Structure formats: structure tokens, C-alpha cells
Amino acid sequence: MKSVIIEFAGSSLILAAETQRAGEILEFLYLTLPGAPARRCSVPESPEPGVTLLITSHPADNSFELYDGSTRLFVSQAPGPMAEVLQGEVCRRLAADSQGGLAFHSAALAHHGAAVAFPGMMQQGKSTLTAGLVEQGWTYLTDELIFWPNSATCLQAFVRPLNLRHAVLHLFAKLSQQQPPTPLRMDHATGTLVHPALLGCGGSTSAADLALLIFPHYQPASPLCITPLTPAQAGLALMESLVNARNLPEHGFREITQLARTVPAYHLMYSDLQGLGRALEGLIPGQ
């Protein structure tokens, strides 16, 4: 039995793998990324904290199953779809129980030690944008979930493999040279989970001082347009990406207001990743 405790954003859960093949999924998702908010452990007899999710596999048909206690959540014939579902389930549960700060659906990268957050809901191209900036020399933090603790200046990022759609893989030359199976890539039905090392990222971190908020919007064939936002506009946009409002006093309104007044914010409209990193670098205070 292999297990890992995931702790992030004031919440935690235990993931366990009953077989070696199931354990390889945990290794890929949570135990191979420097800076990832996870640690190896043995499963306690009475699992704490909170929820335990169990993955098992069956040699007879090579299938995988995901359980929450006695409830079966998902069945897959391949590791990639199971890894995608598990990754999403972990983020959803951590966000749902998060407290002590603001948790957002957001990508995040760092440039010369300064973090830039890209809030936005799912299926809005955050992972593609993140991969493009990593290829342009930015440091990967996350493509999905960030946490802003109360009274903090430091953004915390949930480090994980990027989830890229099949349709965008041709944009990244290093990925096209790496075909599954590989310990750093797992394909699923609509895309592939990619270890940042395959994009040339030399390492990952899980925290950096937040210097900038960028609200991205992909628009085919549009010119690059970067528009400054007022604190009020930034606050409204942040509320749309907040995932733990129900756990916070006043639904996080006071903390959102403070964040929007403290960190410069811009709306980004783009259609091309080429050169985008240089355009954004000039917005970061002090760079």
C-alpha cells in the first residue's frame, strides 16, 4: 500500500494506492514534482485527515477503480483517464474545504521570483497559456488552483502536471517529440497530462510573492490587447473565480477587496502565444 497526504489551502486528504500500477499514478501526479504540496506516508489505521481516496487495479483486465470509502467513483481501462479524474477530484475537494484565505481557479507562473496569477474558470485555456509562458522562460507554479492566505503577500500554488488538450499539443515542439508511454506524460480521452519537465521547466516551486493579476481571454485572430483594471473591476473578476466563498466570512468579500486594492490587475485579450511573455514582463512592478 502506497499513500500520500495532500495538504493545501487549509484543507487536506489522503490518497492511497492498493497496487503497484495504481501507485504509479500517485507517483506521476504528486510525488515527482519539486515543490509539490505532498509527502509520502503510510496509511494510518484510522485515516486522518478527512477523506481517503483509494485507487486499485485488476490484473485480469488491466482496469483501475477509484473509491471514496465503499463508494466507487470511477472505472478506467487506462492510467491516463484515471489520473485526469483523480487530479480533478483532488482539486475539487481541497477547494471545497479550503479556509483561512482565498482559493481561486487560477494558473500561476513566476518571473524572476515574482508571481503572476491568471484567474479563470475551467476550460478557458489557462493550461495552454501556462505551457506557452513556460516555454518562454517563466517558472511553472500551477495551471489550476492558487491560495491567498489571510493577511499574506505570498501566493501558494497547487503544483501538478499540466492538463493540455490534444488540439494544442502541436504548439509545443518539445511535446511533439515525446510520445506516450513515458513516465512524464499520460494521455486521456481529450488531452494529455504533462510533467513540466517535458516543457523544459527545470524545477517547480509552490510559493512566490504575488505581483500581478492577469485575467486572460483567448480570442481567435484578435490583436494583443492589455487593459488595466480598476480595483472594483478586479474585485468583481476575482469573485467569479473564487471557489471557497461559502467557507469564508462575508463570502470573502473583505479579503477580495484588499487583494484587488493591493495587486495591479489587467485584462488580457490574445490570439497568439508568441512573444506574449515579453509583453507581460513589462507589467510586473520592478521588472
- Is residue 102 within 8 Å of 255, Cβ to Cβ? yes
- Asked whether residue 204 falls in the same domain as residue 265, the answer is yes
For the residues of 226-283, what is the DSSP string, one character each? EEE--HHHHHHHHHHHBS-GGGSGGGGHHHHHHHHHHS-EEEEEES--TTHHHHHHTT
pLDDT values of the chain reduced to their tens digit, one per residue, 287 residues? 888 888 889 888 889 999 999 999 988 888 666 555 554 444 434 345 556 899 999 988 889 999 999 999 999 999 999 999 999 999 999 999 999 999 999 999 999 989 999 998 766 688 999 989 988 889 888 999 999 998 787 899 998 888 998 888 878 766 666 555 566 788 898 888 988 777 666 555 678 899 999 999 999 999 999 999 999 999 999 999 999 999 999 999 999 999 999 999 999 999 999 889 999 999 999 87
- Asked whether residue 135 falls in the same domain as residue 228, the answer is yes
Would the pTM of this model clear 0.85, i.e. be above it? yes
Handedness of CA 255, 256, 260, 261 (dihedral sign): negative
How remote is the C-alpha of 264 from its chain's centroid? 22
- Asked whether residue 116 falls in the same domain as residue 230, the answer is yes
**In this structure, is residue 286 part of a structural domain?**
no
| Full domain range(s) for residue 14 | 2-97
- Asked whether residue 23 falls in the same domain as residue 110, the answer is no
- Asked whether residue 111 falls in the same domain as residue 241, the answer is yes
**In this structure, is residue 287 part of a structural domain?**
no
For residue 45, the SS3 value is: coil
Identify the H or E element spanning 71: strand 71-76
The tally of domains found in the chain comes to: 2
Rounded to a whole number of angstroms, the distance between the first and last alpha carbons of the chain is 48
Q: Which residues partner with 192 through β-bridges?
A: 164, 187
- Asked whether residue 178 falls in the same domain as residue 194, the answer is yes
